[in-house]
Structure 1
Amino acid sequence: MPKTTLYIVRHGQTEWNVEKRMQGHKDSPLTELGEWQARWLSEALAPIKFDEIYSSSSGRAVKTAEIISGKPKDQIKVTDQLKEMHLGVWEGEIQATIRENDQKRFSSFWNDPEQFEANGGESFIDVQKRVLPELQRIIANHTGKNILIVTHTVIIKILMAYFEERPLSKLWDPPYIHPACLCKVELEEGKHRICLHGDISHYKHEAVGLY
């Protein structure tokens, strides 16, 4: 069986990331730094020919996928199945406000994800049921290909936990999923190998004026 390689990327920094707002299914544009983060990754991945490009349907992910791949949206497979976790009434709210007004649920989100119950949104188990079948479909349909997947923090945590066989209770263990970070997973002969997890070696820290 030929080797399949997944390049799983979080979108670049957004305006709401800077404001520390929960985004979920809502959206905000990439910042200037967010676009640079995607460009830096595009440069690092320039030698790779992507056979398939998938993106969450959220604008911040699609824009990141366009920058990384150099392809227009109509050449990217855009899917709702890769959207961020639906956070219900939290979406658009500042994290500090949520922590103050919904302490028990906020603590559960970060410290006890197995038991988290969203107010009008998804649980982490709901996200697993949505995302993991999509992952399996992508792998099955593109065996032996280089596949770029641009998505979101919780989705990446769920995907990488699947490959690591990490329990949901440890979902938030390191590494941190930075904007435009890269995870690389190779699949061959029924086995998989995690080559990169949350990698940001493509960041150009000399661009101090953008931070």
Structure 2
Amino acid sequence: MIRLFLTRHGQTQWNVEKRFQGSLDSALTELGVKQAKLLRDRLAHEKFDIIYSSHLNRAYKTAEIIKGNREIEIIKDENLAEMRLGKWEGLKHDEIMENYSKEYELFWNKPHLYKPSTGEGYNELEKRVIGCLKGIIEENDGKNVLIVSHTVVVKQIMAYFENRPLEKLWDLPFIYPTSLSLVEIDNDIVEIKMHADISHFENSMKVNC
């Protein structure tokens, strides 16, 4: 059996500013670091064999914090990076709503119809993320694996395990920073043990995520 622990990076400065990040990056906030430390403490008694992280610094820094003093490898993989958002990257949500209203509406509410003029579509994202996921599963049978990535990537992975269609990708639960999902796979039998759990959070931590 393989046990897959999945999480999103901690809160970043651009999360606070409500900017789209995509393949660009911004630093973890003080709260983001605290979120990662709380998840580290929650997982302190779990034995991880390996950690996979997006190569983007907000995810890799989160992975380093969660790793703590474990002597295990963190493997950076660009296929676990956030969705590439082209000309939207660095812009605030309200700027995108004003200038790209139709695309923005489809992005959130009808992802199966979203066709970006620049950047990456959901089908492209699915191909690279699920291809990467299958490789991780194949290479790590019998292990505990932590994957540290981004909102859309975690959404896509969980939708894959749930057989959830693309048009329902953004259905709840919300993927808060450092929320935790756990999937166990035994002889091709998939069991979702946890999905976007935030029981390690303090009460105020849902703000500006």
The normalised TM-score by structure 2 is 0.95
Aligned counterpart, 1:125: 123
> Separation in 2 of the partners of 1:71 and 1:151?
20
Percent sequence identity over aligned pairs? 49
- Aligned-pair RMSD on alpha carbons? 1.9
**How big is the shift at 1:38?**
0.3
**CA offsets per residue over residues 147-179 of structure 1, 9 Å max, x none?**
000000000110000000000000000000001
Q: 1:76-115 residue pairs with structure 2 within 5 A? A: 76-115=74-113
Note if contact 1:178-1:198 (Cα within 8 Å) is conserved in structure 2: yes
Aligned counterpart, 2:36: 38
Aligned counterpart, 2:160: 162
> Is 2:45 the partner of 1:47?
yes
Aligned counterpart, 2:8: 10
Q: Match of 1:47, SS? A: coil
Note if contact 1:24-1:86 (Cα within 8 Å) is conserved in structure 2: yes
Q: Match of 1:33, SS? A: helix
Give 1:196's match in structure 2, choosing from 190, 194, 197.
194
**CA offsets per residue over residues 51-94 of structure 1, 9 Å max, x none?**
0100000000000000001269x931001000000000000000
Letter of the 2:152 partner, please give it: V
Note if contact 1:87-1:119 (Cα within 8 Å) is conserved in structure 2: no
Aligned counterpart, 1:135: 133
Q: Match of 1:202, SS? A: coil
**CA offsets per residue over residues 111-170 of structure 1, 9 Å max, x none?**
110111123200000000111010000000000100000000000110000000000000
Q: 1:138-153 residue pairs with structure 2 within 5 A? A: 138-153=136-151
Cα 1:203/1:87, change in 2 over 3 Å: same
Note if contact 1:90-1:98 (Cα within 8 Å) is conserved in structure 2: yes
Cα 1:106/1:206, change in 2 over 3 Å: closer
Q: Match of 2:52, SS? A: strand
Note if contact 1:40-1:204 (Cα within 8 Å) is conserved in structure 2: no
Note if contact 1:163-1:192 (Cα within 8 Å) is conserved in structure 2: yes
Letter of the 2:39 partner, please give it: L
The normalised TM-score by structure 1 is 0.94
> Separation in 2 of the partners of 1:194 and 1:105?
32
Give 2:169's match in structure 1, choosing from 168, 171, 178.
171
* More moved, 110-119 vs 81-90: 110-119
> Separation in 2 of the partners of 1:51 and 1:98?
41
Cα 1:139/1:71, change in 2 over 3 Å: farther
> Separation in 1 of the partners of 2:199 and 2:117?
37
Letter of the 1:66 partner, please give it: E
Question: Which ranges of 4 or more aligned residues in structure 1 deviate by more than 6 Å?
Answer: none
Residue segments in structure 1 that go unaligned for 5+ positions in a row: none
> Separation in 1 of the partners of 2:102 and 2:147?
33
Cα 1:42/1:104, change in 2 over 3 Å: same
